[in-house]
């Protein structure tokens, strides 16, 4: 699987040269080999020292295509509106004469009709002229099955062309759609770390592939830390609910959940937090049970006898109801100090503040 990034180009406008180079190198280390960028962003990136051979310039109209030709930028991506102009003999001639490496974009299978129409007009478009066909789900409506169907049909109609997929996370189906298209024959996924700017979240697709094909996709050490570092340089913060990067993904408060995850974590967690550089967090609040309180006490290095656990738990529920959220670490420590016995060394890392 090849990865094309669309984050670097979107942060280029406000990024400093050193930041852009840093993000570029970190993305290369994660396995990205290509970067889709707009022309304004392209100028900033080239000036910052990013190799232009790794950039693919996104053209919305003929003016932008002409600028790419004048600048000597041969690797371009035509948006859907410009791709629909391929019936124009002059445009095809321009692409050939300037040895352009072109990727064309469609949003649905019916877009391929423009090529059939061109053929009936004796303006035959040879797909070997193009580097790839990009399937672009612009509104986020594709699911796994639809993505697989569209990719497989494109592969059947155009067996000799490379397929790419770019999704949209508006309806939280982008990862599933990406995995479906990969199963249907897509070889390049266009995405961004953390799903920034409503794109496909690269780390989620990678994790899905590592489960489906573990012999091909090996674990990446400190995956979460590396992704968060890239987003931090870009001035972005992962959403709390994101499946890998979000702080809430391994946070547990409900008594039955905490009981289950402490006894058999694989039932309550889709994957081990330590495998991706995350940490399991216990949020202590109104729905916490005895086991959660006992575990939190142990992690904070307190010994709580059974009667003390009951007293602490009663206070937790009272405080949580009054403030409308779980207890902070300081509040927990205060309760344990009052009702329990202190041990020698504290282990604070795995108990979350529930606010």
Query: Considering the domain boundaries, does residue 157 fall inside one?
Result: yes
Same domain, 52 and 184: yes
Please check whether residue 336 is in contact with residue 327, taking contact to mean a CB–CB distance below 8 angstroms. no
Tokens of 216: 């091909």
Q: What is the pLDDT of residues 209-266, one digit of tens each?
A: 988 888 888 878 788 999 999 998 888 888 888 889 987 888 777 778 777 887 888 8
41 within domain boundaries: yes
Q: Which residue has the tokens 């609910």?
A: 241
User: How does strand 302-303 pair with strand 341-342?
Assistant: antiparallel
Host domain of residue 136: 2-233
Q: pLDDT tens, 256-295? A: 877 788 788 888 888 888 888 887 777 888 888 888 888 8
| Domain-located, residue 244 | no
CATH number at residue 59: 3.20.20.70
- Is residue 205 within 8 Å of residue 4, measured between CB atoms? no
Residue 281 CA to residue 252 CA, distance in Å, equals: 6
Residues 14 and 157 both lie in one domain: yes
Question: In terms of pLDDT, which residue wins out, 17 or 227?
Answer: 227
Q: Are 41 and 13 in contact (CB under 8 A)?
A: yes
Least confident of 93-97, 147-151, 313-317: 93-97
Query: Ranked by mean pLDDT, which of 10-14, 222-226, 297-301 comes out on top?
Result: 222-226
- Burial label, 221 (beta-carbon count in 10 A; 0-12, 13-18, 19+): exposed
DSSP labels, 156-225: HH-TTSEEEEE---TTS-HHHHHHHHHHHT--EEEEBGGGGGG--BHHHHHHHHHHH-TTTS---TTHHH
What total number of domains does the chain contain? Answer: 2
- Are residues 229 and 268 both part of a single domain? no
Confidence tier at 352 by pLDDT (50, 70, 90)? low
Confirm if 117 and 87 have CB atoms less than 8 A apart. yes
Is the separation of the CB atoms in 107 and 165 below 8 Å? no
Structure tokens at 262: 């402490």
pLDDT tens track for 68-96: 999 989 999 999 888 878 767 677 788 88
* The residue to which tokens 């991706």 are assigned: 276
Name beta bridge partners: 341: 303
* pLDDT greater than 80 at residue 122: no
Whole-Å CA distances, 34 to 6, 103, 241, 257, 264: 9, 13, 28, 42, 41
Is 245 domain-assigned? no
Which band of pLDDT confidence, cut at 50, 70 and 90, is reported for residue 344? Answer: low
Confidence of residue 178 (pLDDT cuts 50, 70, 90): very high
Residues 284 and 207 in one domain: no
Percentage of residues in the chain with pLDDT exceeding 70?
91
Question: Which of 233, 267, 294 is a domain's end point?
Answer: 233
Q: Mutual orientation of helices 290-299 and 329-339 as an angle, nearest 10°?
A: 90
In the prediction, which pLDDT does 347 show? 43
Structure tokens at 37: 């960028």
**Angstrom distances, CA of residue 62 to CA of 24, 40, 86, 159, 314:** 28, 15, 11, 28, 69
Average pLDDT, the chain: 86
**What pLDDT, on the 0 to 100 scale, is given for residue 332?**
87
Closest CA relative to residue 308, chosen from 282, 330, 338, 269: 338
Q: Tell me the H-state helices in 269-339.
A: 290-299, 306-323, 329-339
Q: What is the mean pLDDT of residues 319-347?
A: 82
Are the C-beta atoms of 130 and 96 separated by less than 8 Å? no
- Looking at the domain assignment, is residue 243 inside a domain? no
Structure confidence at residue 66 as a pLDDT band (50, 70, 90): very high
Q: Do both 216 and 268 map to the same domain?
A: no
Q: In this structure, are 211 and 65 located in the same domain?
A: yes
Pairing assessment for the beta strands 75-78 and 341-342 based on DSSP bridges: unpaired
What is the C-alpha separation between 280 and 224, in angstroms, rounded? 13
Is the distance from CB of 138 to CB of 166 less than 8 angstroms? no
CA distance 80 to 85: 9
Q: Is the pLDDT of residue 350 over 70?
A: no
Q: What is the pLDDT of residue 348?
A: 41
Predicted structure pTM score: 0.82
The verdict on 227 and 312 lying in the same domain is: no
Q: Looking at residue 221, what is its pLDDT?
A: 79
Final residue belonging to a domain, choices 206, 233, 260: 233
Q: What is the pLDDT of residue 31?
A: 93
Residues in the chain: 355
pLDDT score, position 45 = 92
Structure tokens given for 174: 């982008």
Domain identity same for 113 and 217: yes
Question: Which residues 6+ apart lie within 8 Å of 202 measured at CB?
Answer: 3, 5, 30, 32, 189, 191, 192, 193, 194, 227
Pair (32, 147) in one structural domain: yes
pLDDT at residue 127 tops 70: no
256 in the same domain as 218 = no
């Amino acid at each position: 699987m090849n990865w094309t990034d669309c984050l670097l180009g979107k942060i280029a406008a406000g990024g400093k040269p050193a930041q852009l180079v840093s993000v570029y190198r970190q993305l290369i280390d994660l396995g990205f080999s290509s970067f889709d960028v707009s022309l304004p962003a392209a100028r900033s990136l080239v000036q910052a020292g990013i190799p232009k051979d790794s950039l693919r310039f996104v053209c919305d109209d003929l003016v932008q295509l002409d600028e790419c030709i004048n600048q000597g930028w041969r690797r371009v991506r035509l948006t859907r509106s410009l791709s629909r102009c391929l019936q124009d003999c002059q445009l095809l001639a321009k692409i050939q004469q300037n040895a352009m490496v072109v990727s064309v974009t469609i949003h649905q299978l019916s877009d391929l009709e423009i090529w059939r129409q061109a053929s009936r007009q004796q303006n035959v478009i040879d797909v070997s002229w193009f580097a790839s066909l990009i399937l672009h789900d612009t509104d986020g409506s594709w699911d796994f099955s639809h993505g697989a169907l569209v990719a497989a049909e494109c592969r059947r109609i155009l067996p000799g062309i490379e397929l790419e997929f770019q999704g949209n996370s508006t309806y939280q189906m982008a990862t599933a759609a990406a995995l479906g298209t990969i199963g249907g024959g897509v070889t390049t996924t266009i995405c961004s770390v953390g799903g920034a700017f409503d794109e496909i979240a690269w780390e989620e697709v990678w994790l899905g592939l590592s489960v489906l094909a573990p012999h091909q996709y090996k674990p990446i050490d400190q995956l979460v830390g590396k992704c968060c570092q890239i987003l931090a340089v870009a001035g972005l913060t992962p959403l709390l609910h994101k499946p890998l990067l979000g702080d809430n993904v391994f946070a547990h408060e409900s008594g039955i959940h905490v009981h289950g995850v402490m006894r058999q974590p694989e039932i309550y967690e889709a994957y081990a937090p330590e495998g991706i550089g995350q940490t399991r967090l216990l949020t202590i609040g109104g729905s916490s049970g005895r086991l959660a309180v006992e575990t939190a006490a142990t992690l904070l290095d307190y010994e709580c006898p059974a009667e003390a656990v009951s007293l602490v738990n009663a206070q937790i529920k009272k405080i949580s109801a009054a403030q409308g959220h779980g207890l902070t670490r300081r509040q927990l420590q205060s309760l344990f100090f009052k009702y329990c016995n202190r041990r020698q060394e504290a282990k604070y890392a795995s108990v979350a503040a529930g606010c």
